[in-house]
Structure 1
Amino acid sequence: MSPRKWAGDLALGVRFAFTGGREGWIRMMLTAVGVGLGVALLLLCTALPNVFATRDRVEAARYDLSYSDKAPPKADDTFLTAVTDTTWHDDDVRGRLLEPEGSRAPLPPGLDGFPGEGEMVVSPALKDLLASDDAALLRERLPYRITGTIGESGLIGSRELAYYAGASGLRPAVHSGVHRLSEYGKPDAAPEKTDPVLLLMVLVVFLVLLTPVAVFVAAAVRFGGERRDRRLAALRLVGADRHMTRRVAAGEALAGALLGMAVGTGFFLLGRQAAGSVGVLGMSVWPSYLDPSPVLAVLVAVAVPVAAVLVTLFAMRGVAVEPLGVVRAAKQRRRRLWWRLLPPLAGLAMLYPMIGQGRESGEFNQYLVIGGVLLLLTGITALLPWVVEAVVARVGQGPLSWQLAARRLQLSSGTAARMVNGIAVAVAGAIALQMLFTGTQNQYTKATGKDPDRVQMQVVFSKSTLLSGIEREFTGTKGVQAAVAPAIAQYGDAPRDPQATNGLTVGDCTALRELATLPSCEDGDVFVTRTRSHYTTPGNDEQIALVKPGRRLYLDPSYGDAVERGREVPWTVPSSVRVVEARKDSLDDSNSLLVTRGALPAAATPVLVSSGVYLRLDPSVTEAREYARNAVARLDPLAQTYSWSATQENARYASIRAGLFVGSVFVLVLIGASLLVSQMEQLRERRKLLSALVAFGTRRRTLSLSVLWQTALPVGLGLGLATAVGVALGSVLLKMTRTPVGMDWASVLTMTGAGAGVVGVVTLLSVPPLLRMMRPEGLRTE
């Protein structure tokens, strides 16, 4: 067969696709929408590398922190900056104070000029937030006048909350929360070693999200298959052979794919423009970030039409188009099972060599992971038609609606399976990922040793001199039930180069009772704890022996040729020192020597360092955290507040899981939209049949239930198969990461229920068009 003949037949098919009248155009639009939805999501995925790269580039370009011991000297090109980050409800707000020290001080990215004292430049999202009625407490915390907005080059997302405020007098606080810099930008650092398990998660997430899209695109190019085959039968009457009809059918599919490419590009451009006003899980992007990678975009542009042609040619192998009809209505040969088992078995064989590798044995082979996961997931599309056919061949007894549905499924089980393939692949992948994330969660989540039931917030001030009575500043703050502010210091057995040293904690009786169980306490008492709960040393025998009544110790001892000699403060241990037990839920038991303020000389005050203020909040006040943050901002704009939590999650692990959630939302939307389009196409194919049944007296309720059964039975079988494959894939992934295999059936049922829920919504949306089609007038033709 010459390429010219191939091209001619394909062109004839394209012509038939666009000249089929009203029916042809409806079929083409359904195909274009189905393919277009998949293409739009594929283009979005091709833009993700640029999104991540651009966000990292912007973050690095605006980096303004320095942890060097030596700050550069003041010059005409230096500036002072201080971190004033805060939190508004669950959203982080990036804040900076700026003070230029010369006329050539560099501007932060996105700014046209330095804000003056009492002024600030804000991100567009923060400007909108501050203008809202619900942000009164945030406006109180940021008492600056807005003079401009930060440009796109200075923000990592359109919904990021950020501001730069002008300040003066920051110089004395250099090395105490204030940084002197001469340029912006993150210094080059050694590349961080990639965790093989996290890399495996990223690969599987992309495969799980993209495979259902490919399945939907393959199903969409076959919309209108039955009507197309009847047109091809007419072609046979005028002399076309079987090979020509297949090429013409491929041409029609190619036309639908090309039109779908155009529609998908339009969907992507619309979604790209709308992305600037949407934020998901605190993440947002600018439309300019969503520029597809040229290589990947070309790959999509080539792969979709080629796949449409190949899928059509493969499907036509099972259809005999004859001059007088299509041998689709006759009894078909039973599908064979043996070759349908090969893809999933091959996938397991590719993943098997990596079982037990984990982190210690190096990285996983990416090609084997990609191939194995793809074969397992796409194996569902090969197995599901056999499962549907095997089950529906044995059903038939029941009410009339059930018999109608069963007969229809027996005649077109392949079409029913194609509708469910995408949802089954998506659910299987989701179950496997859920098992992987649940199984490895403990590896990326560590206990903080903090009890959020006792303390909800901790405040760390920028100045260590904010000590005496600082907890009283929170008295009367709405939502704050209690505040304690212990201080710490070092002591030794000699003023210089001591042989024995340790730390002590200073506070009032209220604060010390948060650390140890005290029988009684008055100002002037001293305690030493016998045990320490958070540390490996079970007892403090050495420290108890050191802190003897009447012994002379020295606070803040000096070492070697230290510059600050002479600051050592002598202290005599009082005779009333008592040994007590540390609380098992102690706020901080790094120091076992507990001292009330009255037990220390007045000269000790300058050497005490604040360890922060611990706040207990009133759970009945919904804005308690915001009131507390406002009180902290009034005391020290550079102070940082931290919410206590019992566990802390690895940032990369959390970001991968968040990315999975965001991607799953898009895939579920695609699933729902594609299923709805597919359902409309199926109903349109059977419009005259439904009208004929109604005209002969069949009740609409019976027909509606039959359509429901036609959807429910394949969906149930597909979800059952997806659960089995998903559990198998999840178990293999867990064994690959050396994680014990455990089943979280609640998560499995949740994933399965989500898939069933999407199908249920689509079914409900298709009821109104179904009722309109079930009219005798639908038999009228022209």
Structure 2
Amino acid sequence: MNVPQGARDLAMGVRFAFTGGREGWVRAVLTAVGVGLGVALLLLTTAIPSALQSRHDRETGRNDFTYGTKHEQKSDRTLLVADAQTTFRDKDVRGRLLRADGSRPPLPPGVAKLPAPGEMLVSPALDRLLKSDDGKLLRDRLPYRVTGTIADAGLVGPHELAYYAGNQDLQATANSTGRIERIGSFGVKRESEAMDPILVLLILIVFVVLLMPVGVYIAAAVRFGGERRDRRLAALRLVGADGGMARRIAAGEAMAGAVLGLVLGAGFFLLGRQLAGQITLFQISVFPSDLNPTPALAALIVLAVPAAAVAVTLFALRGVVIEPLGVVRTAKPSRRRLWWRLLLPLGGLGLLYPMIGMGRDNGDFNQYMVTGGVILLLIGVTALLPWVVEAVVARLNPGGVAGQLAIRRLQLSSGSAARMVNGIAVAVAGAIALQMLFAGVEGDYSKDSANDLTRAQMEVYVPQGMSPTDAGAQFSRTKGVRSATTVSYGELSNRRKDPGSTAHVSVGTCEALLEVAKLPTCHDGDVFAVQALDDTDTPKIFRAGRTVYFDPSYKDQPKGAEVAWTVPHGVKQAQTRTSPTGGETWGVLVTPSALPAKVKPTLYGQVYLRLDDSVADASEYVRNTAARINPMVDPMTWTPSEESQRFTSIRTGLFVGATCVLVLIGASLLVSQLEQLRERKKLLSALVAFGTRRSTLGLSVFWQTAIPVALGLALALAVGLTLGSVLLKMTSTPVRVDWSSVLAMTGIGAGVVLLVTALSLPPLLRLMRPEGLRTE
């Protein structure tokens, strides 16, 4: 069988990688480790869509609230479900109270048998928390006996806190749209809202920015040990190989390391997948079984990585003259050309330019043009950095001995120095652009809360049928609560059924009403009228001696309480005041004794709580009191701002991905640094043998790292600001630079490099020994 010469040369390179002695093995292992780390992260990225889909499917499979879209009639196969969700120290706890209507109720996913009244099934994570010392306050809130655990099919993640508890007192709400519903099955489907074009753009940019440093790093990893490899290729020329054959053999060696890297990458990925089940990042956890790479993308990685290794090696050797007696790389290299390097970022800008000004009102952005434009801009960093390093170090005045050693080394191998920091430069450039984009559009997806945190820090909604006054009294006696202000709300109308005019009613003590309105004087029994500018109904119906009705009935709705009340004489006029929630109170204000007792059950209440900051877990004590009043009462903690859930999810995904990429970059830099030190082992030993101080050599190694890093970060800053500005213009958002965030991104990149340099010092000290000159 005739095998083409090129294939035979590649095969010979593969044999050299594994049978070329210790030197070949070390280079192959270094390449494999570097490629393996990148492949593991690529496999993880391809597995993220399946993990998110699995989480979504399990979430959909346990949906139990129809929100009025479906009404179930009581039968042997129905179940009452109540939302008893709570929060414990910033962690959400999903809770449901259950009561079967018959002997064959539907079962939630992951549950084999419904819990009996007073019993509960918990997720494994909640079980561990309740058994720990940290879970004492939560145990007080969940007074049920644990009789089992929820299986994985009923949880979105291994660290989710969730429970199902049996409750015999549940009663279906009248309109089936409250916190208690009757259902015939789990897995109610809801129509998903169309994604905002700008959010789609954010997701696309996040993926490109996070994956680009990985690709850059893999391309750099296949060139580990390049100088020693070239010297071995010179020996091959000496025994008769021509230049093309030598290059193909080098490509075969790189391919062998890349294939071994695929194997290691698969191992790293499987190890990381098992560890993923033990980790929670930004309240997101996944089951290891959910992390399954998409087969097509995994196959693409398996084919692309070895092919890229061959292509990168041949491209790197295009300007290297390998002769039988040496490699011409040791001479002063020719100056790099700038013009073709500028074409890459200019081409990227050209692809993005047609989409400037589209915003969210002109359809979706062209995903191919966005992806291509961002990739070209970021690749431009890797193309421009070697030229920048070469141009700068050629003009630097080295100064002391350490500086002379560092600058001379950079002048001889500026390409290697640039490759080492290419990954961090690309990551920082992308992070700066993303930070600008997030900061620019954040105002569209987040807003300052209208709540006045100086007057209250928590709010409790008290449903109809419960006494807001009694609830407020219990909260006022709770540990960590300075004061509890209770205001009840309702509606009165001019007719018993299908009213034409309605007025808003606020009921509370004089002290409570002063929180929502400006009163002239106030005593129990007083009634006030507050007219807002656009309120025309209150003056019509609220007149002395007239009969009005609380809780009127409406067409197509169940019958209300319809409590009649005669408007008393002596109604006082009050002025509006901004309430603790930020709105203006209008309509009718009534003190408790002015209303008939029948009215009180028709009202719902809100309790505004001021907390004592000196009491730890004050909000947890409030939630425990709420659970004692009614397990379905979930106090709301006020925050200075409110954000879109989707926007928050995308930003969380960015943080998780950026964490993984930073770990990879740090590991890659360390491997690259160790490889360079290994290459210069004899040189370092010779310098020590001639009397050079170790501190001088250590400082020279630091400068060899610091100078390319500084130049790379400066270039990343320029490209990141350019890309960020273009993306903001595409979203029709004013260009604004948050310099604190930009400098923070740059500082993180520099910090990673400094940490890697510090970790490489111990191996450096071991290499700086005269014994390193010994050879065989």
TM-score interval w.r.t. the shorter chain? over 0.9
Q: Secondary structure at the match of 2:512?
A: helix
Partner of 1:68: 68
1:563–1:235 CA distance, 2 compared to 1 (3 A):
closer
The one-letter amino acid of 2:728's match is L
2:705 aligned with 1:711: yes
2:475 corresponds to which residue? 474
What SS does the aligned partner of 1:569 have? strand
| 2:681 match | 687
Closer, same or farther in 2 for the Cα pair 1:743/1:3, shift >3 Å? farther
What aligned pairs does 1:405-420 form with structure 2 within 5 A after superposition? 405-420=406-421
Equivalent runs, 1:327-346 vs 2, <5 Å: 327-346=328-347
Q: Distance in 2 between matches of 1:98 and 1:469?
A: 26
Aligned to 2:53: 53
**Shift, 1:184, TM fit:** 0.7
**Displacement of 1:541 after TM fit?**
6.8
Match of 2:669 among 663, 675, 696: 675
Partner in structure 2 of residue 109 of structure 1: 109
Q: Which residue of 2 aligns with 1:534?
A: none
For 2:683 and 2:39, locate their aligned partners in 1 and report how far apart those are by CA, in whole Å. 33
Show CA shifts across 1:559-594 (max 9, x none): 569874883412223314123342375665353321
On the 8 A contact 2:686/2:773 being kept in 1, the answer is yes
What secondary structure, in the 3-state scheme, does the structure 1 residue paired with 2:104 have?
Answer: coil
**CA distance in 2: counterparts of 1:571 and 1:445, whole angstroms:** 45
Task: Report the Cα distance in structure 1 between the residues aligned to 2:675 and 2:738, rounded to whole angstroms.
Answer: 38
Cα separation, 1, equivalents of 2:654 and 2:622: 34
Q: Over aligned residues, Cα RMSD in angstroms?
A: 1.9
Aligned with 2:609 (options 615, 630, 641):
615
Matched, 1:79 2:73: no
Alpha-carbon distance between aligned partners in 2 of 1:76 and 1:563, rounded to the nearest angstrom: 24
Correspondence list, 1:361-400, <5 A: 361-400=362-401
Does residue 581 of structure 2 align to residue 580 of structure 1? no
Distance 2:559 2:667 in 1: 72
Structure 1 residue 512, shift from structure 2 partner: 0.6
2:737 corresponds to: 743
Distance 1:587 1:570, change over 3 A: same
Partner of 1:598: 593
Of 681, 686, 693, the residue aligned with 1:699 is: 693
User: What is the identity, as a one-letter code, of the residue corresponding to 2:179?
Assistant: G
Q: Percent identity?
A: 58
Give the Cα–Cα distance (whole angstroms) in 1 for the partners of residues 65 and 31 of structure 2.
Answer: 53
Q: Tell me the equivalent position of 2:282.
A: 281
Verify the 8 A CA contact 2:542 2:567 in the aligned structure 1. Answer: no
Q: Confirm or deny: 8 A CA contact 2:503 2:537 kept in the other structure.
A: no
Structure 1: how far apart are the matches of 2:53 and 2:144? 33
1:486 counterpart SS class: strand
Report the CA distance between 1:475 and its aligned residue. 2.8
2:33 aligned with 1:36, yes or no?
A: no
- Sort the Cα spacing of 1:451 and 1:777 in 2 relative to 1 into closer, same or farther, 3 A: same
2: CA distance, partners of 1:81 / 1:345: 59
- Residue 774 in structure 1 maps to residue 768 in structure 2: yes
Amino acid at match of 1:731: S
1:4: Cα distance to partner?
1.7
Q: Distance in 2 between matches of 1:385 and 1:780?
A: 34
Change (3 A) 1:353 1:7: same
**TM-fit CA distance, 1:493:** 3.5
Partner of 1:92: 92
Distance 1:152 1:497 in 2: 49
Q: Which amino acid aligns with 2:588?
A: L
Aligned residues: 773
> Following the alignment from structure 2 to structure 1, what is the Cα–Cα distance between the partners of residues 718 and 726?
13
Pairing 1:120–2:120 present = yes
- Alpha-carbon distance between aligned partners in 1 of 2:213 and 2:753, rounded to the nearest angstrom: 15
Q: Deviations over 1:682-740 (max 9, x none)?
A: 00000110000000000111100000000000000000000000000000000000000
What's the secondary structure of 1:503's corresponding residue?
strand
SS state of the match for residue 92, structure 1? strand
| Structure-1 residue corresponding to 2:193 | 192
* 1:103 Cα offset (Å): 2.6
Distance in 2 between the 1:373 and 1:3 partners?
A: 41
Give, in angstroms, the shift of residue 179 of structure 1. 1.3
1:181 is aligned to 183
Match for 2:22: what amino acid? R
Cα distance change of structure 1 residues 141 and 164 upon mapping to structure 2, 3 Å threshold = same
Taking the aligned partners of 2:206 and 2:759, their CA distance within structure 1 comes to: 30
Give secondary structure in 1 for the equivalent of 2:521: coil
C-alpha contact 2:428 2:716 (8 A) present in aligned 1: yes
Cross-structure match for 1:524: 525
Question: Could you say what secondary structure the match of 1:18 adopts?
Answer: helix
Per the alignment, in what secondary structure is the counterpart of residue 328 of structure 1?
Answer: helix
Q: In the alignment, residue 273 of structure 1 is paired with which amino acid?
A: Q
Q: Deviations over 1:606-661 (max 9, x none)?
A: 33x11322211111112001000000000101112211223211111110000000
Counterpart residue type for residue 348 of structure 2 = G
Alpha carbons 2:543, 2:567 under 8 Å: kept: no
Counterpart CA distance in 1 for 2:323 and 2:556 is 101
Instruction: Please give the residue correspondences for 1:751-766 in structure 2 after superposition, counting only pairs within 5 Å.
Output: 751-766=745-760
Q: Distance in 1 between matches of 2:188 and 2:524?
A: 49
Q: 1:77 to 1:585 in 2, by over 3 A?
A: closer
Aligned to 1:571: 566
1:172 deviates by: 5.2
Matched, 1:645 2:646: no
Q: Aligned to 2:529, what secondary structure does the other structure show?
A: strand
User: Any gaps of 5 or more consecutive residues in structure 1?
Assistant: 532-537
Whole-Å Cα distance in 2 between the matches of residues 161 and 20 of structure 1? 55
Deviation at 1:763, TM superposition (A): 0.3
> What residue number does 1:627 align with?
621
| Structure 1 residues 645 and 262, CA gap change in structure 2 (3 angstroms) | same
- In the alignment, the residues of structure 2 paired with residue 384 and residue 444 of structure 1 have an alpha-carbon distance, to the nearest angstrom, of 36
Whole-angstrom CA distance in 1 between matches of 2:772 and 2:557: 97
Letter in 2 for 1:91: K
Q: 1:656: which partner in 2?
A: 650
Change (3 A) 1:650 1:566: closer
- CA contact under 8 A between 1:491 and 1:556: conserved in structure 2? yes
Q: Distance in 1 between matches of 2:58 and 2:658?
A: 27
Q: TM-score, normalised by structure 1?
A: 0.96
Q: CA deviation at 1:462?
A: 4.1
Unmatched segments (≥5 aa) in structure 2 = none
Cα deviation, residue 71, structure 1:
3.2
2:298 counterpart of 1:297:
yes
What's the counterpart of residue 260 of structure 1?
Answer: 261
Deviations 1:139-172 (A, max 9, x none): 1111111111111111111111111112213235
Residues 27 and 225 of structure 2 are in contact (CA less than 8 Å); yes or no, is this contact kept in structure 1?
yes
